[in-house]
Chain A
Amino acid sequence: MNILCFLIPVLLGSPVPQPKLRVVTTLGVLASLTREVGGERVDAEALANPQQDPHFVQPRPTLMEKARAADLFVELGMQLELWAQKVVEGSGNPRIQPGQPARVVASTGVTALELPRELSREWGDVHPYGNPHVWLDPLNTKDMAANIAAGLEAVDPAHKDEYEANLKRFQERIDEALFGAELVKQVGGKMLTRLARQGRLTEWLAQKQLEKSLGGWLARAAPLAGRPVVTYHKSWIYFAERFGLKLPIEIEEKPGIPPSARHRDAVVALMQAQKVHSVLQEVFYDEGAANYLVAETGAHKVSVPIDVGAEAGVKDYFALVDLWIDKLVGSETAAAPAK
């Protein structure tokens, strides 16, 4: 039967379609980036349910099955998905073991924020490689996509040029989506990226009298600049860095540990003092604390996914960033807290 299935198309003379590269990623975001870079050549699938907390995924037999068949395995790294290594080990797939060319750590080379502040390991072990939520800054996805492209080229050198071209196009699209096409044309994406990363973009644009040319997400996110926002988990620092939000305090005092009464009160006091409009959290966190804060201060609750595929409309990375900005700008421009 198997032979027949294979032979019939050959005998009939129809071309056997070239098999696609099977890419397995941990997060939906990484699958989305892989599709951008791999185009028609790849079948990318994410292991994590995009609605759930990416820190905690129960390794299931089906996940290992998928990893077993993978030609390329893409993880974020920085100890975000500690479960990924368990899945890979369980898969028994030798090609995707750490250090192999078919194992991509997408955060490689991305500048980490929030590295531990003391050499002592007492607190540092929380995130010894810095905060791992790097994809919340669109600029970082350019580096992540470059790492994925390098992985695809390593396992499929025949189509190197195609991957390179797709990568370049994706990076240009990110620049245009973030800064607006007009500004990218006038200044160049790389320069804008360097300026934005150094926090000098606004100043530089003012100096060159180019403020009006700014478009894209940065222009839409203008109402967010300088606004204090309370978040549940410390996952939004890259987003805040890019779009100028301030994150004065988190609901969660230390990752994974319930807050103390004083901390809860400190959050409420700070929200009232700074007139905080928005309590921002990922959809998978419990909303009890946010509901409490909203009831106490009259602020708005902004509950958003942080992974591609979590909601019907969020099909790729661009839609995800659109959603973050729309929801937050909506909350920040809505009526001020009543209390």
Chain B
Amino acid sequence: MSQFLVSMERPFVACLLLAGILVYLGIHVLSRKVIFVDLALAQIAALGSVWGALLGWDIQTDPWQIKAFSLAFTLIGAAVFTLTRMRDERVPHEALIGITYAVALGATMLASAHLAHGAEEVNELLAGSILFVSWETILVSAGLFALIGAFHWRFRRQFFQISLDPGGAEARGVSLRLWDFLFYASLGFAVTSAVSIAGVLLVFSYLVIPAVVAMLFADSIRARLLIGWIVGTLVSAIGCSVSYFGDLPSGPTIVACFGGALLVCGLAHYAIVQRGLVRVLAGSALATALVSGSFLLRKNEAHDVVHVLESGSKAERVLALKEVAADPALWARVRPLVPKLFDNRENEVRADLLALIAERRDASLLGAVHPLLADPDDAVREKALRCVRDIASKESVPALVAAAGTEQDDYLLVEIGEALLELGELAGVPPMLSVLRDGEAAEARKDAWEHLKAHLPIRLEFHPELDAAHNAAGLAEIERWWSENRARLVPDHAGVFTLGP
């Protein structure tokens, strides 16, 4: 619990700040029927910061210059909304606000197309990051909100008059244009600052939903404010808790909680004021039934390993093979598919299959493994070689001899030789000798020499770290030994040869 308090302290305080200023402004916004003006102002502010970035200022290193650009744009936006509020409403104000939003969003996208952080700027505006808010940001915003609040308190008469009764206010000599501009400018400042904390989605919810709930239940400004603040605070607390204990992203969770709160309040209002309790209960029951019924439509995810191996994606095939590894009973059904799976050229699938074949010592599949000894991919050849060595069947000898004829990689050549020697086949010696003679890498020559000494009773001097030119004498010696003694060499069960009679 204390962990919860520490963890959600800053986001919750930030939520309370938002509720404090936005619920109040929301009542104005609803009365003026300019619901989406906050989105439009926030978008204009974003356009301002992107414009600043286009002029060369950096969002990371010059935050204040960028901020100045976004504030200047906000003021322009406020002026636009002031001038477009027409007396006879030939064009609805809401339409102009929507247009401003769309054009500002489009312009932001255009302007950010060539910016490094452009797309992020647009995304960040939507999602916000209330979880990562710092005390510094909270304090600065609190100061700004307090200023805006004080300004509105001082001139509350004018602000409410132009919001609730613009005609009457004008008749009493209040300048509509001036106070409209001041309202939109202060709304713009508050919204821009709020959006940088919490994102457009959350700010919109704080602005509109508590005010709507308040309008359902009360008529006086005072009562509406009170109800709005209570709803805002409660939902903030519930949202932060649900987000924390449900391990969910905070912003979207709080928005969902606002939606739930509005639903509950709306139903309660209908049940109490309209006396529609029965209908509310019936409707709720129907909605619950519909939602739970939709779970019956869940996609059935039953899968068959053979089917997945045949027609799944590469990832699915790899996963299916993991299942096969865990359940030996499946192996008999998968075996016939092996040649086809090898043909698919999917290296992950091939590697897993080779490991499975090696683990099962399934000599009947050697016919499918042998072609991989000549695969273009050296990693595949290496794995096929390991598989052949693990199974250790004489059946592999012709394929190994053929592979030795084409192998270009010295280390793999050594391994082919080793595989043949382990099978008691002297055909493993020429590949080793060819590496001693022509091997480019000293390590490969060392490998070949060590293996040769381990399998053959050869007591000669050779310095694999030196290249062929410096080893000519030693090489000639070894080759003479080989041609003299090859007929007398007799293997034991582990492929170690001794000189017979």
* Residues on A facing B (Cβ under 8 Å): 49, 51-53, 56, 58, 60, 109, 111-112, 115-121, 124, 128-130, 185-188, 190-191, 194, 197, 208, 210, 257-265, 283-289, 291-292, 295, 310
From A115, A187, A258, A262, give the contact of B443 (CB < 8 A): A187
| Residues of chain A lying within 8 A (CB to CB) of residue B313 | 128-129
Q: Determine whether B132 belongs to the interface, using a CB cutoff of 8 Å to chain A.
A: yes
A261-B347 contact in complex given A284-B117, A284-B119, A287-B60, C-beta closer than 8 Å: no
- A194 B443 Cβ-Cβ under 8 A: no
A286-B319 contact in complex given A188-B410, A190-B378, C-beta closer than 8 Å: no
Q: Can you list 19 pairs linking A and B with CB atoms under 8 Å apart?
A: A58-B109, A109-B377, A115-B315, A115-B348, A119-B301, A128-B315, A129-B314, A186-B442, A187-B442, A188-B409, A188-B443, A190-B409, A258-B131, A260-B250, A261-B240, A261-B243, A262-B247, A265-B3, A284-B117
| Residues of chain B lying within 8 A (CB to CB) of residue A260 | 131, 243-244, 247-250
| Residues of chain A lying within 8 A (CB to CB) of residue B119 | 52-53, 56, 284
A124 to B124, CA, bound (A): 26
- B320 A264 Cβ-Cβ under 8 A: no
A191 to B439, CA, bound (A): 13
Q: Determine whether B161 belongs to the interface, using a CB cutoff of 8 Å to chain A.
A: no
- B315 A259 Cβ-Cβ under 8 A: no
A292 to B443, CA, bound (A): 50
User: Using a CB-CB cutoff of 8 Å, which residues 1-29 of chain B contact chain A?
Assistant: 3, 7-8, 11
Q: Determine whether B87 belongs to the interface, using a CB cutoff of 8 Å to chain A.
A: no
A178 to B129, CA, bound (A): 39
Q: Determine whether B114 belongs to the interface, using a CB cutoff of 8 Å to chain A.
A: yes
A194-B315 contact in complex given A60-B113, A260-B247, A285-B120, C-beta closer than 8 Å: no
A286-B129 contact in complex given A129-B315, A186-B442, A295-B134, C-beta closer than 8 Å: yes
- B116 A52 Cβ-Cβ under 8 A: yes
From A111, A120, A261, give the contact of B11 (CB < 8 A): A261
| Residues of chain B lying within 8 A (CB to CB) of residue A284 | 116-117, 119-120
- B316 A49 Cβ-Cβ under 8 A: no
- A116 B315 Cβ-Cβ under 8 A: yes
Chain B CB within 10 Å — which of A53, A258, A260, A295 has the most?
A258
Q: Determine whether B480 belongs to the interface, using a CB cutoff of 8 Å to chain A.
A: no
| Residues of chain A lying within 8 A (CB to CB) of residue B3 | 265
A287 to B120, CA, bound (A): 10
Give the distance to chain A from B313, nearest Cβ to Cβ, in Å. Answer: 6
| Residues of chain B lying within 8 A (CB to CB) of residue A208 | 443, 446
Give the distance to chain B from A54, nearest Cβ to Cβ, in Å. Answer: 11
User: Using a CB-CB cutoff of 8 Å, which residues 428-482 of chain B contact chain A?
Assistant: 440-444, 446
| Residues of chain A lying within 8 A (CB to CB) of residue B134 | 291-292, 295
- A263 B251 Cβ-Cβ under 8 A: no
| Residues of chain B lying within 8 A (CB to CB) of residue A287 | 60
Which B-chain residue is minimally distant from A303 (CB atoms)?
Answer: B60
- A191 B411 Cβ-Cβ under 8 A: yes
- A117 B319 Cβ-Cβ under 8 A: yes
- B250 A261 Cβ-Cβ under 8 A: yes
| Residues of chain A lying within 8 A (CB to CB) of residue B8 | 261
Give the distance to chain A from B340, nearest Cβ to Cβ, in Å. Answer: 18
| Residues of chain A lying within 8 A (CB to CB) of residue B441 | 185-188, 191
A112 to B114, CA, bound (A): 31
User: Using a CB-CB cutoff of 8 Å, which residues 200-251 of chain B contact chain A?
Assistant: 240, 243-244, 247-251
Q: Determine whether B38 belongs to the interface, using a CB cutoff of 8 Å to chain A.
A: no
Which A-chain residue is minimally distant from B299 (CB atoms)?
Answer: A121
| Residues of chain A lying within 8 A (CB to CB) of residue B348 | 111-112, 115
| Residues of chain A lying within 8 A (CB to CB) of residue B446 | 208
A116 to B379, CA, bound (A): 23
| Residues of chain B lying within 8 A (CB to CB) of residue A117 | 319
A191 to B442, CA, bound (A): 12
Give the distance to chain A from B314, nearest Cβ to Cβ, in Å. Answer: 7
- B409 A265 Cβ-Cβ under 8 A: no
Q: Determine whether B308 belongs to the interface, using a CB cutoff of 8 Å to chain A.
A: yes
From A115, A257, A285, give the contact of B319 (CB < 8 A): A115
| Residues of chain A lying within 8 A (CB to CB) of residue B496 | none
Q: Determine whether B371 belongs to the interface, using a CB cutoff of 8 Å to chain A.
A: no
From B132, B249, B319, B444, give the contact of A292 (CB < 8 A): B132
From A115, A259, A283, give the contact of B116 (CB < 8 A): A283
| Residues of chain A lying within 8 A (CB to CB) of residue B308 | 119
Q: Determine whether B268 belongs to the interface, using a CB cutoff of 8 Å to chain A.
A: no
Chain B CB within 10 Å — which of A124, A194, A310 has the most?
A194
| Residues of chain A lying within 8 A (CB to CB) of residue B301 | 119-121
Give the distance to chain B from A98, nearest Cβ to Cβ, in Å. Answer: 16
- A118 B60 Cβ-Cβ under 8 A: no
Give the distance to chain A from B298, nearest Cβ to Cβ, in Å. Answer: 10
Which B-chain residue is minimally distant from A187 (CB atoms)?
Answer: B443
A261 to B243, CA, bound (A): 7
Which B-chain residue is minimally distant from A53 (CB atoms)?
Answer: B119
Which B-chain residue is minimally distant from A58 (CB atoms)?
Answer: B113
Give the distance to chain A from B380, nearest Cβ to Cβ, in Å. Answer: 10
Which A-chain residue is minimally distant from B346 (CB atoms)?
Answer: A109
| Residues of chain B lying within 8 A (CB to CB) of residue A265 | 3, 7
**Which are the 8 A-B pairs with shortest beta-carbon distances?**
A51-B116, A188-B441, A115-B315, A292-B132, A258-B249, A187-B443, A191-B411, A262-B247
From A52, A111, A258, A262, give the contact of B118 (CB < 8 A): A52
| Residues of chain A lying within 8 A (CB to CB) of residue B319 | 115-119
| Residues of chain A lying within 8 A (CB to CB) of residue B117 | 283-284, 286
Give the distance to chain A from B189, nearest Cβ to Cβ, in Å. Answer: 21
A120 to B319, CA, bound (A): 10
B280-322 vs A, CB cutoff 8 Å, 1 = contact: the mask equals 0000000000000000000001010000100001111011100
Which A-chain residue is minimally distant from B8 (CB atoms)?
Answer: A261
- A194 B442 Cβ-Cβ under 8 A: no
A260 to B7, CA, bound (A): 11
| Residues of chain B lying within 8 A (CB to CB) of residue A262 | 7, 244, 247
Give the distance to chain B from A289, nearest Cβ to Cβ, in Å. Answer: 5
A315 to B441, CA, bound (A): 33
Q: Determine whether B325 belongs to the interface, using a CB cutoff of 8 Å to chain A.
A: no
- B442 A119 Cβ-Cβ under 8 A: no
Chain B CB within 10 Å — which of A52, A58, A109, A292 has the most?
A52
| Residues of chain A lying within 8 A (CB to CB) of residue B409 | 188, 190-191
Give the distance to chain B from A196, nearest Cβ to Cβ, in Å. Answer: 11
- A194 B120 Cβ-Cβ under 8 A: no
| Residues of chain A lying within 8 A (CB to CB) of residue B262 | none
Q: Determine whether B127 belongs to the interface, using a CB cutoff of 8 Å to chain A.
A: yes
Give the distance to chain A from B95, nearest Cβ to Cβ, in Å. Answer: 27
| Residues of chain B lying within 8 A (CB to CB) of residue A285 | 120
Q: Determine whether B345 belongs to the interface, using a CB cutoff of 8 Å to chain A.
A: yes
B100-142 vs A, CB cutoff 8 Å, 1 = contact: the mask equals 0000000001000110111110011001010110100000000
Give the distance to chain A from B194, nearest Cβ to Cβ, in Å. Answer: 15
